[in-house]
């Protein structure tokens, strides 16, 4: 498509005060990138369509042919494995045939936590231990060398000795999320008065808000997440 540079003349005015897209300068006024075409550019575009140049907009190019190469250490479509050159395969992956990039006749798998000496681990063998009490261990399927997707317990399961609930695979208890968690005596001494040492947020006048007694019960019975929009109490 032939669209020429836009001149600064009045005949090529642009509705965008920053300038025109096809202007001689890439950056518009006040260093703002233009986003509109001038009347001249619009006219050039329409003229090009009228003489048949618009075919290039509809001429979808052919997909690039990707040549697959066995031995490039990249497992591509149609390959079971690709361990590189013959010498590299003998050392890195004896389960893979370096000529065909397929598993050898004796092999059941090539790699992964559930693949042991080219043999699949039995179904039920642990391939990933549980990271914590809110996580779940993963087990081999007996059909694939890779360990299944990492999953965790359902959100809301009690954890931390019933002081918290599982959330996305972790146990966000109050004691874990606060730098130092104060006890009830600390709450009654400081937070109930509302000071820099303990409070329930700041009011519109910038003064520390006092905490109602019910807040303590709430603190010890609900899950607090780091994304909570309610400021955590400052317990010291």
pLDDT tens-digit profile, the chain (236 residues): 555 555 555 567 676 656 777 776 666 666 667 777 888 888 888 888 888 888 877 787 777 766 778 889 898 888 889 988 888 888 888 899 999 999 999 899 988 999 999 999 999 999 999 999 999 999 999 998 999 999 999 999 999 888 889 999 999 887 777 656 667 777 777 777 788 777 788 888 888 888 887 776 666 554 443 333 334 443 43
CA-based torsion, 213, 217, 220, 226: positive or negative? negative
Q: How far is CA 4 from CA 26, 145, 223, in A?
A: 14, 59, 63
15 contacts: CB under 8 Å, gap ≥ 6? 36
Other Cβ atoms closer than 10 A to 41: 20
169, HSE (Cβ side, Cα atoms, 13 Å): 8
The token pair that represents 80 in the structure block: 């079971």
As a whole number of angstroms, the distance between CA 221 and CA 6 comes to: 68
- The pTM (predicted TM-score) of the whole model is 0.48
CA-based torsion, 23, 15, 9, 38: positive or negative? positive
Looking at residue 62, its pLDDT comes to 79
Chain CA centroid to CA 178, Å: 26
Chain CA centroid to CA 120, Å: 31
Contact at 8 Å (CB) between 130 and 136?
A: yes
Looking at residue 63, its pLDDT comes to 76
74, HSE (Cβ side, Cα atoms, 13 Å): 7
Looking at residue 19, its pLDDT comes to 73
As a whole number of angstroms, the distance between CA 209 and CA 196 comes to: 10
Looking at residue 234, its pLDDT comes to 39
As a whole number of angstroms, the distance between CA 11 and CA 2 comes to: 19
Contact at 8 Å (CB) between 229 and 178?
A: no
Contact at 8 Å (CB) between 224 and 175?
A: no
Looking at residue 229, its pLDDT comes to 35
Contact at 8 Å (CB) between 68 and 82?
A: no
Other Cβ atoms closer than 10 A to 48: 16
């Amino acid at each position: 498509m032939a669209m020429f540079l836009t001149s600064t003349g009045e005949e090529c005015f642009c509705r965008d005060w920053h300038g025109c897209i096809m202007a001689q300068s890439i950056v518009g006024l006040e260093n703002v990138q233009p986003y509109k075409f001038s009347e001249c550019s619009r006219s050039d575009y329409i003229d090009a369509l009228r003489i048949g140049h618009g075919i290039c907009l509809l001429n979808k190019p052919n997909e690039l042919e990707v040549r697959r190469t066995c031995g490039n250490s990249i497992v591509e479509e149609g390959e079971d494995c690709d361990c590189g050159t013959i010498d590299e395969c003998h050392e890195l992956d004896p389960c893979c045939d370096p000529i065909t990039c397929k598993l050898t006749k004796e092999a059941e798998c090539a790699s992964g936590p559930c693949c042991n000496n080219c043999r699949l681990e039995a179904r039920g063998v642990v391939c990933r231990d549980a990271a914590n009490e809110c996580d779940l261990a993963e087990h081999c399927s007996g059909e694939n060398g890779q360990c299944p997707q990492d999953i965790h317990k359902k959100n809301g399961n009690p954890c931390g000795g019933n002081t918290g609930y599982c959330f996305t695979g972790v146990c966000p208890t109050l004691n874990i999320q606060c730098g130092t968690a104060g006890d009830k005596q600390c709450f009654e001494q400081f937070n109930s008065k509302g000071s820099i040492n303990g409070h329930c947020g700041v009011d519109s006048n910038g003064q520390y808000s006092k905490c109602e007694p019910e807040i303590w019960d709430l603190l010890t019975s609900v899950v607090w997440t780091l994304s909570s929009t309610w400021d955590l109490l400052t317990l010291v």
